[in-house]
Structures are given as C-alpha cells and as structure tokens.
Amino acid sequence: MQVRELSVPGALEITPRQFADDRGVFLEWFAGAAFGEAVGHDLTLAQANCSVSAAGVLRGIHFADVPPGQAKYVTCARGAVLDVVVDIRVGSPTFGQWDSVLLDDVDRRAIYVPEGLGHAFMSLEDDSTVLYLCSAPYAPGREHGVHPLDADLAIAWPTQGRDGRPLTPLLSPKDAEAPSLADAQAQGLLPVAADVEAFVAGLRDR
C-alpha cells in the first residue's frame, strides 16, 4: 500500500494494492504492520462502525476530547464520499486548514484521522457505505462538532454527485446546530495541540 501525509499533519491517505481477476477484487484495506510503520504506533481497535448514506448526506465535522480522543481509519466499501479532515487543534500551525480524499469503490483508498482532528464526509451517491475502525468507543459526553458549512473554514463540498446530478447538503439536526470553529474555540471545546502531541507521544512510547 502507498501512504501519503495530507496537508493537515498527522492525517494520512492510504492507497491499497488491488488484485483483480475474473472473480472480482481482493485487497487489504487495513494492514497493522504497515500502519504502525507509517504512524509510529499500533491502532487500538475499540469499535467498528458502518454508515450508509444517501447522496448529499453530510456527516460531521466530528471530534472527541483528548485524551483519549478517537482516531479513525475510514474507507468506502460501496459508492463514493468526499472525506474531509480539519485541523481543529488550538495552537497548531495549520489550525483551521482542511484537506480531502475521495473514498470510493474504484481506488478503494482509506484515510487515517488521528486524535485531535475533525472529520466529516459528504456522500456522492445513494447508499454510499462507509466503514470506520475507531480507537475508542463512542462516548456522548466527550463528543463534539463543528458546523461543516462554516464560512470561515470554506470547505469546498461537492455540488454534483457521482452521476452528475446536483447535490443538496443534508445534515442531521445535531450537525446543523453545531457551532462554528470560532465559537467552538471560544467555548473551550477544541483540543489543544500540545495536549494532543503529548497524548500521541505516549502512544508511541508504549
């Protein structure tokens, strides 16, 4: 597999090697040894999630308190999504910046979103199926969000689906009520870069 660091430090795009024949395709969408070499520590698997989304569904921007945070290793098994990672670490040189990866059932890429970063995606096709490996279980009391349409973040969400039809963003009530990045910072909800760095360093020292 090929690993590329995104413009948000710590976030990775992973492109697997696919083996195709007249029966179909085989690939390793996660490999522990290769992951550990790229990141510097193992991925603790605490929970595996699956979401199925209609075209235009916009999920996120989600993040969790650090420690322990929630790292995610994400792929799209069916359909296509634009997956976005946002640097929400207060004090980070790239605070407020974002990057994206197209996850689909053609290239079958994955994205690694480490602790302390925000994560969101938009579905580009009905029944897009996204799989997540998570380092920590869902805990409502320490889960937060930033509005994915925050004008200051200016994320370039797609306006057309995979079939060329117009997309209208569809948010959950919770995501629609999420604060802007500035408001989340003012409320003290965002992780601090130094705290995240210390936590991740501890993972590498295990």
The residues annotated as belonging to the active site are 62, 132
Bridge partners for 192 per DSSP: 90
DSSP bridge partners of 170:
57
Q: Which of 25, 167, 11, 154 is nearest to 74 (CA)?
A: 11
Residue 110 corresponds to which tokens in the numbers above? Answer: 């994955």
- What is the Cα–Cα distance from 129 to 108, expressed in whole angstroms? 12
**Which residues, at least 6 apart from 54, have a Cβ–Cβ distance to it below 8 Å?**
123, 126, 127, 170
90, 190 in Cβ contact below 8 A?
yes
Partners of residue 47 on adjacent β-strands: 134
Cis? peptide before 155, omega within 30° of 0 = no
